[in-house]
Structure 1
């Protein structure tokens, strides 16, 4: 192996570790496993994840851009407080962009993506039939549904924007999870949406995506 090849391989491995750290910490922050306001120790996180501190620090820089952590000079890094007042601003953007993503996904999904969408819809329907289930687990399904739709839409800029918005919205949802009458109903709304995208029905997919976001905002405002 040449020096250049070795450097390239080492760089790819480093990037994958940073991405792994980012995704793991992002989802802990979203699900409030790392509570709002909690201090974040990069050394402890590195030990927990079994990786070096440098990838963790890079992940934390990305999460600061995502408004999920904040760093203070000489004080350290902390999980941001969940800003419920941001709900209106986040929902305003999602009402426009979620239907667009659903429409693009319905029009552009290939056969493999359609199989994935149908399989996820079947999984959620089985969950719905099994009873209320664990609220946190159901919210992880919710995150997965949205991320698959964004990816299938085929526009990386749209995907990146919507992931960040959905992450912030889900943190708000998780903050009031114990006050929400049922999470299962919210998650089961995805079944028809996923199938409409899988069937290539762009108009229905767009309409259902808008209904879902509107329902989410209404539910949150009801319990606040």
Structure 2
């Protein structure tokens, strides 16, 4: 008798779809999430929707306001800098830990992911969501390989908030056409269990101009300021 594949819980599906919409700024910062409209849009009931919203609230992507409902969390240029600074340090800690603790199975998964990325680049996939998904899977795998579940949870939250800042500021997300060399360097350093090489490879991948970010005032025109402080902007080749 063959085993059946369990269907994802409705709250999990709602969480993923809402998270994606918030990260990509399809739901704008500060906007109210209308429960009835969202239930129809996601084709779910109130209970799974609220479970999804509670998870998103724990990740600071939405904010619960008593008697009013859930709102998409606001963001600013100052948030962008602080997120980038915190995420940089956290990603470095994760990859240095992963260099020591990564398993052969995790290395195989990382290699398969990079092979998938190479095939997609060779096929000239231009879907930005595909590029972003590959990048997020790489960071999740490195975080998992760190062996620290609290660090992995924090990085999942930081990744979502950081990418949302780019979308809100309309900064083009870096595409894999420019990242395969960095991905390979990350894999090779982890396979060699070389923490110093792994750290440098991750820093090269993140490549955030922190000095520019420090100089940006947190006042009017924050979207434009965040764009100037953003991760390297790469146009489609």
How high is the TM-score relative to the length of structure 1? Answer: 0.77
Task: Give the CA deviation at 1:151.
Answer: 1.5
Task: Give the CA deviation at 1:182.
Answer: 5.4
Residues 96 and 77 of structure 1, relative CA distance in 2, 3 Å threshold: same
Task: Give the CA deviation at 1:158.
Answer: 0.5
2:16 alignment partner, SS class: helix
Residues 44 and 67 of structure 1, relative CA distance in 2, 3 Å threshold: same
1:122 aligns with 2:106: no
Q: Greater CA deviation, 100-109 or 149-158?
A: 100-109
Query: Runs of at least 4 residues of structure 1 off by over 6 A?
Result: none
Task: Give the CA deviation at 1:146.
Answer: 1.1
Task: Give the CA deviation at 1:47.
Answer: 4.1
Residues 149 and 182 of structure 1, relative CA distance in 2, 3 Å threshold: closer
Question: Residue 221 of structure 1 aligns with which residue?
Answer: 229
1:70 alignment partner, SS class: strand
1:140 alignment partner, SS class: helix
The size of the alignment, in residue pairs, is 210
* Match for residue 133 of structure 1 among 120, 126, 132: 126
**8 Å contact kept, 1:106–1:205:** yes
**8 Å contact kept, 2:179–2:205:** no
* Match for residue 85 of structure 1 among 68, 78, 91: 78
For 1:135-214, what aligned pairs fall within 5 Å after superposition? 135-177=128-170, 179-180=171-172, 183-185=175-177, 187-188=179-180, 189-214=182-207
2:207 alignment partner, SS class: helix
Task: Give the CA deviation at 1:215.
Answer: 3.5
Question: Residue 3 of structure 1 aligns with which residue?
Answer: none
* Match for residue 30 of structure 2 among 37, 41, 44: 37
1:55 aligns with 2:38: no
Question: Residue 65 of structure 1 aligns with which residue?
Answer: 58
Residues 46 and 196 of structure 1, relative CA distance in 2, 3 Å threshold: farther
Task: Give the CA deviation at 1:220.
Answer: 5.5
**8 Å contact kept, 2:166–2:173:** no
Structure 2 unaligned segments of length 5 or more: list them.
1-5, 213-226
For 1:78-117, what aligned pairs fall within 5 Å after superposition? 78-117=71-110
**8 Å contact kept, 2:117–2:176:** no
Over residues 3-43 of structure 1, what are the superposed CA-to-partner deviations in whole Å (9 max), with x where a residue is unaligned? xxxxxxxxxx9x95444433332222112233333331334
Task: Give the CA deviation at 1:181.
Answer: 8.6
Task: Give the CA deviation at 1:196.
Answer: 2.7
How high is the TM-score relative to the length of structure 2? Answer: 0.74
**8 Å contact kept, 1:132–1:182:** no
Residues 149 and 109 of structure 1, relative CA distance in 2, 3 Å threshold: same
Structure 1 unaligned segments of length 5 or more: list them.
1-12
**8 Å contact kept, 2:23–2:164:** yes
